[in-house]
Chains A and B, each alone.
Chain A
Amino acid sequence: MSTSTWGGPEAYPNESYPSSLLRHLLHHMMTQFAAQGACIALFDESIEQLRVQAHVRLRNAALAASSAAALNASGHRMTIHLENDTPSPFARQSTPVLEALDDVLPRQGDLFAIGTAYPIGQDLIGHTWLKGEAAIMRHDEYLHAPFRSIPALYTDVTPTCYLAVPIHESTLVDTLQGHQYTANILGVIILYQFTPGTGFQPRQRAEALHYVEQIALYLQNYQLQQSHRRTSDYLQRLQEISTVFPSSVKLPDLVEQIYQFVGQVVDASSMLFTLYDRDLKKIYDVFAINNGTRIETLTEQPHIMSEEERPVWWQIAQQEQRTLLFSPAQEARKADDYLELLSGTWGNQQQAESFLLLPMKMFNRVIGTLSLTSLRTNAYHPEEVQVLETMLQIVTVSIENAKLYERDRQLLQEAKQREAQLAAINSALQAIGSGLNVTDLLNSLVKSVAVLVNVDMCVFFQFTPASDELFTHAIYAPTIIRQADDGSELPAIAVHQNKKEHEELINMVRFPIKETILEQRLSEGFFYLDSAQLDELAQKGGEAFAIFLQETQIQHMLMIPMSYQSDMVGILGVPTPKDTHFFRPKDIASLLAICAQATSAIRNAQLFEQREEAYAELERLSKLKDEFLVTASHELRTPLSAISGYSSLLRRQSSRISAPQILRFATKIAGAADQLTNLVTRMTEAAQMGAVDKKLYMQIEPVHVLSAVEIASTMLTFNVEQKITYAVSPDLWINGDATRFRQVLSNLLENAVKYSSPESHVYLSATATTLQEAAKLLSDGQFDPALLDQGDPPVVLIRVQDQGEGIEPADQHKIFEKFVRAPRSLTTPVRGSGLGLYISRRNAEAMGGKLWLESSVPNEGSTFSFYLPRIDPPIGTGEQETGEHKIL
């Protein structure tokens, strides 16, 4: 490729006409006026002088002269036919036969040598130009004319006579339009004769002027034709370029098209194509040619600069929005002023002869510029500049259309995406009504949010019931979280474990609210936590949270507090995408909208779960109550049967029975009545105890264990057939309520007796031990280790062992509940209200102890145990007798 234009315009038609055309024109005029030699000088815009373009002579001047004479005698007038696209306008002429012409070469003489330029007034050509009139001159007149600048004349042929004719620009069109127009001189034609004895007639001056008018028309027509040809050529290219970008613009295609187009229209040794992105406020150099060498990879990796870095460009392109055209090589001051435009991506253009900068305007915006330089002077003529401007206009519209289209499409896509996301969330939220639990709901919330704002993870932090801590309830992080493999025994946060384990693990990630940044910011709609604030939370929170932060590498997190009316529900945590610290406002807006929706759904779900729980509890209680009514009915009917039977017996047999018999029956009636009273009392007592968490009134005092056991055994409300033995050290004292302690003892003894056969034994023991030792007898989960926090206090452990039928494992945990008894069904009766163990346990706990089923083996027996705080014997109580006591 040449260092100049790339496949540029073939010629500069403005400046010259084909020499064949000029020779034809001269030849015909010579024939018309019987001249033997002729030259034509035409105006050269660049130097503003007339330059000789063609100079010819007849090969046989004598023949030509005779031929001319013959033609003149016939009186024929020659007509120049102005025809399009023909280099030979006289071709249709049958006569005259044109003789051969010779070009006069510069070496043949300096008279009107081709290429010679004449300023106005100089020599015969300049003189004719100045006068604007045709003139006939003999050679000797010419040689001594004052306009002659060259004193000596060298020529191979010396003319005898000259006819000089100015070519006036045709004024036909302009006069028709009524313009005041001074006809310009297009050039000058000189005809001459060199055969001695010949000369031009004076009348021929007027004829020549008339004839040359037609030549002028012809020349202008030729120019118009050329211009028309170029214009239609440009139009076609513009049409081509406009069809390249119908709706989408690919930058590489675009610059390629511009590059091709420019090359077809003007000369350009260097080119720079610059775009401005008004969204990003950046200037991009996307295409550059430096002296014919393309700067590669610029379309893929444009040179990006800010307004501040290109102040001159900004001034010219964006603020003044004007076209620049000057010659850096000729106008050094301008070259300095616009140095920024003449350097940079496309190299140094300060030495260029021509520089053109065209802004790409769209309404009042400028989206870029096209800069060109050429090594030729005056390379950019108004006509071509106009064509380039038109091309850029098309390109600009295409780019803007494509941009708008792209933007619309993006907006539409985003809107559709958001709509789909919202619909997905809505359906997730709506699913709550069909029985989703809170955890499922939260899991779908965090997932939906992560997908919506296109982040890797999302977490929902829930408040603990006391509202002093937050813990993770749901987490979505398909790619980030993996199992901790650091060998620590700390919980690993892993997604590939089973669901329940996973939930338990993520629930362990917790951190406090009090005295942290969270406390102050909970009332805000949303806020960000930076890494320092997250670290602070990690330090105050548990180890699991620190591991969580480390595993997930969260640096910056958006927090959205979620509250329903005044109740805080939780906080949604969304880590910001990598490399950014903020979300776009529209993302935050959608997140807030989703959170608002989710909050009420979560609230509903929570209420739903609470109601479900309450309902289940109510149902259980109702079932217990039904069972109780049946049991109570049975229990009450037994003493009632005795009362009813004996009283009717007394009535029936009163005349026949003895006084001792009457007394015995009356005693039985009284006993049954007592039993009935006792039952009713216990039921009342249990009812008064009320809820499990209600505090019972206790009269705490030192109680002697052995005495309490003895009293309790006599309190048994029915005939005891089993042998009851007890081993109680007489120096054991507890701190408790005497009445309630005895109640517990008698209840356990009663149960033992009821559940075992008459031949079996019931065994009661009381021993001094400590809480820690007693706790060992409790099965896992029954003992609260917190009790040992304040040391290891002394306790009295009391066990009641029977040899009864035992309690089915399935029933063992139920027997301490209100109204529940061990029986598997109603056909296996157990005497008692079903309230005894419940009351006993409540009493033991109210005195600071605990009561439990230590062991139970079917058909071998059960052991019920309880402990109470042990104290030293009060001063003044003597040592009492120790030993086994047989009650019955």
Chain B
Amino acid sequence: MNIKSYKILVVDDDPIIRDMMVDILGLEGYPVEVARNGHEALEKLHGSEDYLVFLDLLMPGMNGRDVCEQLNAEAAVRARHIVILMSALDNLTHAKMLHVNSTLPKPFSVEDLLRVVQPYMGNPTG
């Protein structure tokens, strides 16, 4: 399978979660960027890079649902990225309606996270 080259983007308002994901994925050798809210995330997604996005559902201001809906409205932009929806609540059942590629419930272990990343990123290069 021809693995496309993605960067990982962690979108979460909680610094603890952002730091932890950067630590885990960085140590695995993946390139990781962060966004503290929906606005920052959309800005990056509209850039030239293709991202594997870990998007937190519950954020102040623009939340994960809002980000998905904006992306879905722009098919060309949406098509370049992989979107994984995260939530600490058991409310990911309706994620299908947001046309996300996958979901990741919190809390999760390193293995849970890597199991989601690997199909898209392959084994890390570093």
B88 engages A645 (CB within 8 Å): no
A642 engages B17 (CB within 8 Å): yes
Contact with B along A669-694 (1 / 0, CB 8 A): 00110010000000000000000000
Is B95 interfacial (CB-CB < 8 Å)? no
Is A826 interfacial (CB-CB < 8 Å)? yes
Decide: A649 near B24, CB < 8 A? Known: A630-B89, A827-B57: yes
**Interface hit among B1-9, B60-68, B70-78, B115-123:** B60-68
**Interface hit among A256-264, A327-335, A651-659, A743-751:** A651-659
B58 engages A826 (CB within 8 Å): yes
Decide: A649 near B110, CB < 8 A? Known: A638-B14, A657-B27: yes
Contact with A along B1-35 (1 / 0, CB 8 A): 00000000000011111011101100100000000
B20 engages A637 (CB within 8 Å): no
A827 engages B107 (CB within 8 Å): no
Is B43 interfacial (CB-CB < 8 Å)? no
A645 engages B59 (CB within 8 Å): no
Q: Considering the chains assembled together, what is the distance between the CA atoms of A630 and B87 in angstroms?
A: 12
Q: What residue in chain B is nearest A804 (Cβ atoms)?
A: B60
Specify which chain B residues have a CB less than 8 angstroms from the CB of A649 in the assembled complex.
Answer: 20, 23-24, 27, 110
Rounded to whole Å, the gap between the CB of B111 and the closest CB of chain A is 7
B17 engages A638 (CB within 8 Å): yes
Give the contacting residue for A829; candidates B16, B63, B107, B111; CB below 8 A. B63
- Residues of B79-94 at the interface with A, using a CB-CB cut-off of 8 Å, are 88-89, 91
Give the contacting residue for B60; candidates A639, A642, A829; CB below 8 A. A829
Decide: A637 near B106, CB < 8 A? Known: A755-B60, A829-B60: yes
Q: Considering the chains assembled together, what is the distance between the CA atoms of A22 and B109 in angstroms?
A: 156
Is B99 interfacial (CB-CB < 8 Å)? no
B15 engages A718 (CB within 8 Å): yes
Contact with B along A11-51 (1 / 0, CB 8 A): 00000000000000000000000000000000000000000
- Residues of B44-66 at the interface with A, using a CB-CB cut-off of 8 Å, are 57-61, 63, 65
Rounded to whole Å, the gap between the CB of A322 and the closest CB of chain B is 110
Contact with B along A802-818 (1 / 0, CB 8 A): 00010000000000000
Q: Considering the chains assembled together, what is the distance between the CA atoms of A506 and B58 in angstroms?
A: 53
A633 engages B88 (CB within 8 Å): yes
A637 engages B60 (CB within 8 Å): no
Which interface class (under 10, 10 to 19, 20 to 34, 35 or more) fits B? 20 to 34
Decide: A637 near B110, CB < 8 A? Known: A668-B19, A826-B58: no
Rounded to whole Å, the gap between the CB of A509 and the closest CB of chain B is 54
A656 engages B59 (CB within 8 Å): no
Q: Considering the chains assembled together, what is the distance between the CA atoms of A645 and B16 in angstroms?
A: 10
Is A828 interfacial (CB-CB < 8 Å)? yes
Name, among B23, B65, B89, B107, the residue most crowded by chain A CB atoms within 10 Å (CB to CB).
B107
Q: What residue in chain B is nearest A642 (Cβ atoms)?
A: B16
Is A189 interfacial (CB-CB < 8 Å)? no
B89 engages A645 (CB within 8 Å): no
A828 engages B63 (CB within 8 Å): yes
B91 engages A826 (CB within 8 Å): yes
A645 engages B20 (CB within 8 Å): yes
Specify which chain B residues have a CB less than 8 angstroms from the CB of A651 in the assembled complex.
Answer: 110
Q: Considering the chains assembled together, what is the distance between the CA atoms of A656 and B59 in angstroms?
A: 34
Specify which chain A residues have a CB less than 8 angstroms from the CB of B23 in the assembled complex.
Answer: 646, 649, 665
Specify which chain B residues have a CB less than 8 angstroms from the CB of A645 in the assembled complex.
Answer: 17, 20-21, 24, 107-110, 113
Specify which chain A residues have a CB less than 8 angstroms from the CB of B59 in the assembled complex.
Answer: 829
What would 10 A/B residue contacts be, using CB atoms closer than 8 Å?
A637-B107, A638-B14, A644-B109, A645-B17, A645-B110, A646-B20, A648-B110, A651-B110, A656-B27, A827-B58
Chain A residues packing against B (C-beta within 8 Å): 630, 633-634, 637-646, 648-649, 651-653, 656-657, 665, 668, 671-672, 675, 718-719, 721, 754-755, 757-758, 805, 826-831
9 shortest A-B CB distances, which residue pairs? A829-B58, A641-B107, A637-B88, A644-B107, A648-B109, A648-B110, A641-B106, A645-B20, A642-B16
Chain B residues packing against A (C-beta within 8 Å): 13-17, 19-21, 23-24, 27, 36, 57-61, 63, 65, 88-89, 91, 106-111, 113
Additional 14 contacts, C-beta under 8 A, given A638-B106, A644-B107: A630-B89, A633-B89, A637-B88, A638-B17, A639-B16, A640-B106, A641-B20, A642-B107, A645-B17, A648-B109, A649-B110, A668-B20, A826-B58, A829-B58
